[in-house]
Amino acid sequence: MEEFSNRINLRAAGCAKCHNPRYERGYQVRLCKDCRRELSRYPVTREVIWGALGVSVILLLALFRLPTYFRAGVDYMKAMEFAKERKYVSAEKGFTATLKRFPGHVGSIVHLITASYFNDDQTRTDSLYSVLTATHTTSDDQDLVDELTIVTDNSRYFSIQDSTISNQLDALRADTTAYCKVLEDYLKKAPYDLAAAVNLAYAYLELKNYKGADSLCRKAIHDAPLFRPPYFELLASLKEQGRYKEGLILTQQLLDQNKEAPSALLTLSTFQLKLKKDKEALITAQQAFQLEPENPDVLTTLCMAYHFNHQQVESNRLLTKLKDMPGSDSSHVAMLQNIITDKTPYRD
Amino acid sequence: MMIPGVYMALITFPGVVVHEFAHQLFCRLCGVAIFDVKYFQMADPVGYVQHEPVKKPFHQLLISVGPFIVNNILALAIAFPAAIPVFMFNDGSLFDFLLLYLGLSIAMHAFPSTTDAKVMWETIWHGKNVPLWLKIITVPITGLIYAGAMGAVMWLDLVWGMGVAFGLPILIVKFLSQVM
């Protein structure tokens, strides 16, 4: 006789459990409806119930934390995607959010250093680099090391390498000619010092020596294409010289490095306005506005772009907003007002 | 390194318990009488659910593949919140590693056993009045179960468990970050 622990007799004439002659037809094992129902609800042992309760508590705790971690994960992945697309303003926001949740995450710190570097925020780049150094962690991820190397290689160009020259220059700020002389002499000995070259180009611009400034900036760009300050000096020079078409090409180079660089977008919009490419200028200014809606320079350029696109209501609204901004520069606002009321010519 | 299956099952016993519980759950849902259940034992097999032959062949398919559904879903739910901090941000706590252990253990035992496959094959392929579509879908499922059983010799169950508990959460986050 085949029998199971719970008194199942498979050879019984009636129900294998209770011997009821009214068993359910069509099954290989004869069981009445009630017994089949009861057996299908075979009791779970106490140990398993306790175990399941324990796992349920763990699962609940885990699920409670899930939204935060999930959000952090999605933000990080999005930021990585933005960084890959060279949209560094969006990437910076994402990595900042990630670091709030996971402050020690080396990958996020390195990516944020890169983002702030290409967003032309050298102060933040330096402070994040200090944070990274303070963590005393070494990454064996070669991609991260390579990424950091690009920034550190270019960041060294931000300060003049010879500190005695720096000190000398600090004392000569008011005397531009002497300032230039010191830098010219120094650059003969240290032509590799791009910080000195940029400083000299800036001084040349003040002296309206555009040829000298252009030459220094172009050499610096050639020597270190990812060192961004010479681009901006050269753009300033080109603007002064009215060489807007060359400026468009140069801003495009900056935007290839960072599609969301607000300063590059502003310069591009300005050059487009100067070249009477008003529709393009408005689109560019709106892109900058989406990135930095409270930046007075962005508002100024957008205000002008609206004006030259004959959207006077929008232009006036932005002018009012600029006037109402705390700490707004009244002379700057007055100049803008004169441009959009056609009292001062803006284009050549 | 060869570790006898029974010791591997001992290390990952939560998965065995969930596996047998999944068979039991689907028996209950299908109204199939159960005669005996062993959630875990230090013998071969390490667990089993003894139930009556099913009346509807489709119920056998459900009972056989039940652990694949339950173990994978449960493993993913448990491991998901831990996989993100550990594998994405290198920031796991002890609790996270407990979750990952549970998730891995449960996912490792998601594959039905060859006994499950044999019963399913006998009931569906050799059964009478079984619809053709059911016979057709049973072939690849049985094949996959046998492939999984053979692959277990090469730690395929461990690889599967790691994939579900460690890799899948990251893939889901990556995918959702692109669509959100």
Residue A4: per-residue pLDDT: 55
Residue B97: per-residue pLDDT: 95
Taking contacts as CB-CB distances below 8 angstroms, the residues of chain B near A5 are 35-36
Q: Which of A114-128, A177-191, A259-273, B1-15 has the lowest mean pLDDT?
A: B1-15
Q: Establish if B140 touches chain A: CB-CB under 8 angstroms.
A: no
H helix or E strand, kind and range, residue A238: helix A229-241
Residue B75: per-residue pLDDT: 95
Averaged pLDDT score across all residues of chain A: 90
CA atoms within 13 A on the CB side of A260: 20
Residue B40: per-residue pLDDT: 92
Check whether residue A200 and residue A117 sit in a common domain: no
Residue A233: per-residue pLDDT: 95
Rounded Cα distance, A84 and A230, in Å: 24
Residue B6: per-residue pLDDT: 80
Check whether residue A68 and residue A115 sit in a common domain: yes
Q: Could you give the percent of chain A with pLDDT greater than 70? A: 97
Q: Establish if B172 touches chain A: CB-CB under 8 angstroms.
A: no
Check whether residue A348 and residue A253 sit in a common domain: yes
CATH code, domain carrying A67? 1.25.40
Q: Residue B51, Cβ neighbours under 10 Å: how many?
A: 26
Residue A136: per-residue pLDDT: 64
Last residue of a domain, one of A207, A241, A275: A241
Query: Mean pLDDT throughout A123-134?
Result: 90
Check whether residue A7 and residue A51 sit in a common domain: no
Cβ-in-10-Å burial (0-12, 13-18, 19+) of A206 comes to: exposed
Check whether residue A207 and residue A300 sit in a common domain: no
The interface predicted TM-score of the complex, written ipTM, equals 0.82
- Tokens read off for B10: 């001992």
Domains in chain B: boundaries: 56-179
Check whether residue A143 and residue A167 sit in a common domain: no
Residue A5: per-residue pLDDT: 52
Check whether residue A188 and residue A119 sit in a common domain: no
Query: Mean pLDDT throughout A222-239?
Result: 95
Query: Mean pLDDT throughout A151-163?
Result: 90
**Domain that includes residue A208, residue range:** 159-241
Query: Mean pLDDT throughout A160-183?
Result: 88
User: Which residues numbered 12-41 in A keep a CB inside 8 Å of some CB on B?
Assistant: 26-29, 31, 35-37, 39-41
Q: If pLDDT is split at 50, 70 and 90, which confidence band does A248 have?
A: very high
pLDDT for residue A317 is more than 90: yes
Check whether residue A127 and residue A198 sit in a common domain: no
Instruction: Tell me the DSSP string of A66-132.
Output: HHHHHHHHHHHHHHHHHHHTT-HHHHHHHHHHHHHH-TT-HHHHHHHHHHHHHTT-HHHHHHHHHHH
Check whether residue A148 and residue A163 sit in a common domain: no
- Residue to test with chain B: of A35, A61, A65, A80, most B Cβ within 10 A: A65
Check whether residue A82 and residue A98 sit in a common domain: yes
Q: Establish if B82 touches chain A: CB-CB under 8 angstroms.
A: yes
Check whether residue A120 and residue A73 sit in a common domain: yes
Check whether residue A171 and residue A260 sit in a common domain: no
Residue A254: per-residue pLDDT: 95
What distance in Å separates residue B147's CA from the closest CA in chain A?
30
**Per-block mean pLDDT, blocks of 10 residues, chain B (180 long):** 73 94 95 93 90 91 94 94 93 92 95 89 87 91 88 86 96 91
pLDDT for residue A2 is more than 50: no
- C-beta of residue A169 within 8 angstroms of C-beta of residue A160: yes
Residue A20: per-residue pLDDT: 86
Residue A1: per-residue pLDDT: 39
Option in B31, B82, B178 nearest A36 (CB): B31
Q: Domain count of chain A?
A: 4
Most confident of the ranges A101-105, A210-214, B91-95:
A210-214
Q: If pLDDT is split at 50, 70 and 90, which confidence band does A114 have?
A: very high
Residue type at A169 in one-letter notation: L
Rounded Cα distance, A292 and A149, in Å: 29
pLDDT for residue A307 is more than 90: yes
Residue B129: per-residue pLDDT: 82
Helix, strand and coil content of chain B, in percent to the nearest 5, comes to 75, 5, 20
Last residue of a domain, one of A190, A208, A241: A241
A265-290 tens-digit pLDDT: 999 999 999 999 999 999 999 999 99
Taking contacts as CB-CB distances below 8 angstroms, the residues of chain B near A42 are 24, 27-28, 34, 37
Q: Establish if B31 touches chain A: CB-CB under 8 angstroms.
A: yes
Q: If pLDDT is split at 50, 70 and 90, which confidence band does A331 have?
A: confident
A23-36 tens-digit pLDDT: 888 888 899 999 99
CA atoms within 13 A on the CB side of A250: 26
pLDDT for residue A108 is more than 70: yes
Q: Which of A120-124, A241-245, A257-261, A340-344 has the lowest mean pLDDT?
A: A340-344
